[in-house]
Amino acid sequence: MLNVVLVEPEIPANTGNIGRTCVLTGSRLHLVGPLGFDLGQKAVQRAGLGYWKSLDLTTYRSWDDFVNRALGEMGTNVHLLTKRATRTYAQSTYRENDWLVFGQESAGLRKELLDAHPHLCERIPMYGDEVLTNASTWHRTHENLHPELQRDICGNFVDEREGQISSLNLSNAVAIVVYEALRQLEFPGMS
């Protein structure tokens, strides 16, 4: 079983899609608050999440609550998914009970966490990464735009000084990493 951790998720549709992926793959979903939406029974019914009752779900009030309650289980099998990593998810080795940790849609994981654990950081390579890592290309393609109005290849506003890269929708990113982990774990039908 894999553990998918969403830290302060903001968009209910992403969390719903990720919950469905977890149900279908037998993964456990951990939601670390504060959440940007309501998980009450009425909200779940209104969203049409009929599978939600089948989801192995644990919620936490905060990052500190998560660390206090889950740290003993986590061990060293933690993968911090971020745009700010040099190693890719495909270069990682996944094991049973690994923890795949994803940050907020708007901000990702906290810089302090990433800086404290660079050996746990992984990213999903995307078309457009080279645009932001090659400054001369970036300046040539965006020279007439004010820095606050520059967009990456997916149309996201970026600040080149931050080194931000185009990002996938959170539910897509989770699915990509979960299915690579399952492939490595020889999930039925993945060979």
Digit-coded pLDDT (tens) for 57-87: 999 999 999 999 987 776 668 999 998 888 9
> What is the predicted pLDDT for the residue at 130?
52
Task: Pull the structure tokens for residue 72.
Answer: 């003993």
Give the CA dihedral 47, 52, 58, 60, nearest 10 degrees: 10
Rounded to the nearest 10 degrees, what angle do helices 170-184 and 12-25 cross at? 20
Q: What ranges do the domains of the chain cover? A: 3-125+168-184, 127-166
Confidence (pTM): 0.80
Mean pLDDT of the chain: 82
Report the share of the chain in percent with pLDDT over 70: 75
CA distance 122 to 109: 12
Q: Which residue has the tokens 């890269």?
A: 165
Whether residue 112 contacts residue 103, with contact meaning beta carbons closer than 8 Å, is answered with no
Number of H helices and E strands in the chain, helices first, is: 7, 6
Q: Which two tokens stand for residue 145?
A: 């735009």
**pLDDT tens digit sequence for 126-184:** 765 554 444 445 445 545 555 555 555 555 555 555 544 445 688 999 999 999 999 99
Strand, coil or helix: 34: coil
3-125+168-184 maps to which CATH number?
3.40.1280.10
